[in-house]
Chains A and B, each alone.
Chain A
Amino acid sequence: MTDAKKQQGDRLSEAEAIERAKQGDAAAFEALYNLHKRRVYSLCLRMTANTAAAEDLTQEAFLQLFRKIGTFRGESAFSTWLHRMAVNVVLMQLRKKGLPVVPLEENIETEEEAPRKEPGADDPRLAGSIDRMQLQRSIASLPPGYRMIFLLHDVEGYEHNEIAEMVGCSIGNSKSQLHKARMKLREILKTSRAEKATKP
């Protein structure tokens, strides 16, 4: 596609793009893709922790969206509709691969269960010192089930009732897993910071 066409696509408002996409306009499809690709891809990447899989899932999510765009009536925000669809695509894919979507049996030793450490001057708060790259790596190292709940709640902003509906678990379970995921992340981040501090 030429630059001129690309710019034309970018200039389209979302509402215009939706209507034109319903008519089969290629530039409108591309405009919608450009508007939402980062969020959908980031979600897929964090959930799978694999670039190739994330790109495949992104493609599948958008294809499903575009196939159904004729049914979009605007009752909800388009982005809500799209991200819900993306989440569903990812969840379906994870289920197909046999990866746990709902963390029921995962037993992660977090600070709650770990031997009690005395808070001291050498164990300061994380606040203000969280390295974003390290946070990404820490999230990637979480078990898939915990990672899923954490991403949906803390990154994507879904409420527990929505998550429970999406992944098929109880609201209490969603809350519990989120808490454990955060605790685990805290532990990883603190360990990482301590390792950095001891390096010459």
Chain B
Amino acid sequence: MTCEEFKRVLPELGSGHGIEQEEHLRSCCACSDLIADLNAISKEARFLQGSEDPSPWVWNSIEVALRQEGLIRQPQLEHSRTPTPMLSWRLRWLVPMAATLLIVFGALIYQRGTGQPQTAQQPKPVAGVVTANLQPADVMGGEDLQLLKTVSERTPSMRATYEADLRSVNAYIRDAEQSAHSDPNDEVAQQYLRNAYEQKAMVYEMALDRSLP
């Protein structure tokens, strides 16, 4: 094989050479050097891949365009991104429950105010009337324990949640009662107490409704 013949087939050779070409390369320094140079260029060229950094404005422009096109979406607030069925479920009960309880408490206060006038010597608190029917302390009472038993039988996974809710609302009732007792004429304290009982009633309603088969 001559040098001319070798160069003619060189573009088609790629990385490997045939027997004829190998023999020629062993005997021809010029062609051997040529191949070595071309291989060196090719090898060195690979290092040019990804060797340059664009200026920061490129990303800035991309980001602006993505926002304009609506491809980047603003992060939503956690509560609106993740569905909270429990919350909406609770809210569903809020209106009728609150209305019922307010009517009951309103009637009780009215009854107390007309039939048993308050004097300094008789500081009978509103809370005293109410607590006769509902468990006032954060310590679990018989009704609370019965409720938790029902919940654990029907939806065991919810028992811990309701137990925590009951303890919390009982503590709230206890605090509100103390405030109401210390100043029976304090309307704000009375309101807190009513709210506390409303919350406990809601916990009962939810627990019973949720644990229904």
Contacts and interface: CB of A to CB of B under 8 A. Distances in A.
B48 A59 contact: no
Interface string B37-64: 1111110111111111111011101110
A84 interface: no
Interface string B177-197: 000000000000000000000
Interface size for chain A: under 10, 10 to 19, 20 to 34, or 35 or more residues? 35 or more
A41 B40 CA distance: 24
A8 to B, nearest CB: 13
Contacts of A130: 40-41, 44
Contacts of A157: 46, 49
A135 B11 contact: no
Nearest to A130: B44
Contact of B37 (A62, A125, A155): A125
A105 interface: no
Contacts of A26: 63, 66, 72
A43 B23 CA distance: 38
A46 B41 contact: no
Given A37-B53, A37-B54, A155 B48 contact: yes
Interface string B10-39: 111010000000000000011001101111
B65 interface: yes
A41 B36 contact: no
Contact of B40 (A59, A62, A126): A126
Contact of A132 (B39, B42, B48, B69): B48
| B interface secondary structure, majority | helix
B79 interface: no
Interface stretch (A11-19, A89-97, A162-170, A172-180): A172-180
Given A112-B7, A125-B36, A182-B38, A29 B66 contact: yes
Given A41-B54, A41-B58, A125-B36, A179 B11 contact: yes
A73 to B, nearest CB: 18
A55 B40 contact: no
B71 interface: yes
Interface in B66-90: 66, 69-73
A42 B52 contact: yes
Contact of A59 (B34, B37, B58): B58
A67 B69 contact: yes
B41 A185 contact: yes
Interface of A (DSSP majority class): helix
A146 interface: no
A38 to B, nearest CB: 4
Contacts of A67: 69, 71
B33 A119 contact: yes
A175 B12 contact: yes
A197 interface: no
Contacts of B50: 38-39, 42
A189 interface: yes
A132 B47 CA distance: 9
Interface in A11-53: 23-26, 29-30, 33, 37-39, 41-43, 45-46
Name the residue in B42, B46, B70 with the highest tally of chain A Cβ atoms < 10 Å from its Cβ: B42
**Which 8 pairs between the two chains have the least Cβ-Cβ distance?**
A24-B73, A179-B11, A39-B50, A127-B40, A38-B50, A41-B54, A154-B45, A42-B52
Interface of B: 7, 10-12, 14, 29-30, 33-34, 36-42, 44-55, 57-59, 61-63, 65-66, 69-73
Given A23-B73, A58-B54, A135-B41, 6 more contacts: A30-B59, A41-B54, A111-B34, A127-B37, A130-B44, A132-B48
